[in-house]
Structure 1
């Protein structure tokens, strides 16, 4: 090989090495850029998740007797946590429990008795251990002015008096039956209703003369009914448990709502509605 050919070959080798180095440097630079972008994105996500700000909609399945107080608490919670929304489904606790175990989407369950809550926990649908947040006591709701002069549980057995009870599978119905058993009284109502609001409404509409409901429902009805206390109700006080549910898309907000219900502010609203402390 001539001296000129060797010189040309060395120049090509040097040029090739330089190009390779430049390509390697470019690749490294690109990799560093991608890594930096991913790192910045990860840091941003981490910062957002640790900000502590609640968001999203939580659906609360709650016993019918909680309608007025929980509606108020929902509005106050939303006001305290902008960006959140609380929606409710109110009904008999047994109906709600069946819906939850049947797959209905919900984030929180507030029942009117431990028995109905057990339906949900036994199926493994609770995301935590239920806690009692209030208690409730029965009262007789009569027509305004109490024209039939009802003064005791025994008076409800009077002939011709149209009395309504909650169904025995519903917490208010089970409690009423417990009070009747304690008094050794037998009562045949004109109808059994699926939740306490339906039972109370029979009296409000003057379709019944009296109904055994909760004190909170009598208070919520105002002058549409008159309440009559009876001592046997002390033997049938219902505990109200509450729990977050599995599958919630906004678990942190659900937990925060439960905490709000149990807070001093939440308990004040519930106490004013006639509920007893847990």
Structure 2
């Protein structure tokens, strides 16, 4: 009887394994909500730890079942930093997000697109880190117009190391007129403090979140089941609600 009880307990622990997920703050609101939905549907516990990589990297090296990123370059960096824990051929591409401009409520500077940042008297903040290294340069030079970057440079006054710090600066410094960042951060800041303006067809940049199961994960099947769920039609509704573009 004791052996049977022990076996049953072990099987129960296996079926209800905790899956540990680590990654940056950008996709976190989506993944955390989907993790909660998934747990309610299946009973499987998905624990999402998010933020700047230096905060969770050491723990993730020991515990991660899943690693996700804010763009491909970030995932490439993770591959090198995790020393064989994740493999490029196992990476799956999730949803993509649009870069644009966050402005103050009611858009007092009347910014309608990226070109307005080049000619208006605006104080601009950019994110020079995480998944946005060079994002503003890509937007300015998308069509090979050097003069766009020259003009933009004159207005960039604040350089945030990551999106979280950019949001904090936005909330604490009302003198900042515009923030070049991903669309979904406008949802995070809230309509009482931010509006999103599209950069325009000639300047829009997209990046994809990516995800991968750790090579040494003891819960690879459960991890894959969760990834399948976050790519499902049901999950796409959450991605869209949070400001991402649905995967087709």
Please list, as runs of the form range in 1=range in 2, the aligned pairs for 1:86-235 lying within 5 A after superposition: 86-91=47-52, 95=53, 99=57, 103=61, 105-122=63-80, 123-126=83-86, 129-158=90-119, 161-167=122-128, 169-182=129-142, 184=145, 185-186=148-149, 187-188=152-153, 189-205=156-172, 206-223=174-191, 224-232=193-201, 235=204
Mapped to 2, the partners of 1:74 and 1:102 lie a distance apart of 18
1:13 — aligned with what?
A: none
Cα deviations by residue, 1:201-255 (Å, 9 ceiling, x for unpaired):
3333325211011111123333120111122576521122111113334333322
Count how many residue pairs are aligned between Structure 1 and Structure 2.
235
CA contact (8 A) 1:138 1:233 kept: no
SS class of match (2:244): coil
1:251 — aligned with what?
A: 220
Q: Note the C-alpha offset of 1:142.
A: 0.6
Mapped to 1, the partners of 2:37 and 2:167 lie a distance apart of 27
Q: Note the C-alpha offset of 1:191.
A: 2.1
Cα deviations by residue, 1:62-121 (Å, 9 ceiling, x for unpaired):
232213212211211221232524232233xxx369936993532211111111112233
SS class of match (1:202): helix
Greater CA deviation, 56-65 or 132-141?
A: 56-65
SS class of match (1:87): strand
- Cα distance, 1:59–1:177 mapped onto 2, change above 3 Å: farther
Structure 1: runs of 5 or more not aligned: 1-36
Mapped to 1, the partners of 2:138 and 2:93 lie a distance apart of 20
Cα deviations by residue, 1:141-200 (Å, 9 ceiling, x for unpaired):
011111111122232245752211111x43234333211122532233222222223323
CA contact (8 A) 1:141 1:200 kept: no
Mapped to 2, the partners of 1:255 and 1:115 lie a distance apart of 22
TM-score, normalised with respect to structure 2:
0.79
Higher helix share: 1
Q: Is 1:276 aligned to residue 245 of structure 2?
A: yes
Superposed CA RMSD: 3.3
CA contact (8 A) 1:97 1:120 kept: no
CA contact (8 A) 2:38 2:44 kept: no
Structure 2: runs of 5 or more not aligned: none
TM-score, normalised with respect to structure 1:
0.71
Bigger radius of gyration among the two: 1
